[in-house]
Amino acid sequence: MNSDAVVGLMAEAIRVTMLISAPVLLVGLIVGVIISILQAVTQIQEITLVFVPKIIAVMVVLIVALPWMLRLMVSYTQQLIMTIPMLVR
């Protein structure tokens, strides 16, 4: 196993991790910004006001995107398992 193979495996693992986490993180960011703008406009400075909408939005995204996330993880795992014999040589 040479360094090119290791770098390739790590790059693919990072790519899959970023693809899986991106929808949840983006929705959390967008909801947080929207709530912060509303707080600034209305001058309500309640810290806990951000958490409930953000948790609800993240849960909705997880429910909607979970099948896609699972397919991506399963395909990556299958690909990784099939390349193990070539990496051992």
pLDDT, one tens digit per residue, over 13-53 is 999 999 999 999 999 999 999 999 998 898 888 888 889 99
Domain range enclosing 60? 3-88
DSSP H helical ranges for the chain: 3-42, 51-88
Question: What's the rounded Cα separation, in Å, for the pair 5 and 24?
Answer: 30
Residue whose token pair is 């409930």: 52
Question: What's the rounded Cα separation, in Å, for the pair 32 and 89?
Answer: 49
Say how many domains are in the chain.
1
pLDDT band at 3 (very low <50, low <70, confident <90, very high): confident
Q: Are 35 and 49 in contact (CB under 8 A)?
A: yes
pLDDT band at 68 (very low <50, low <70, confident <90, very high): very high
Q: Are 24 and 61 in contact (CB under 8 A)?
A: yes
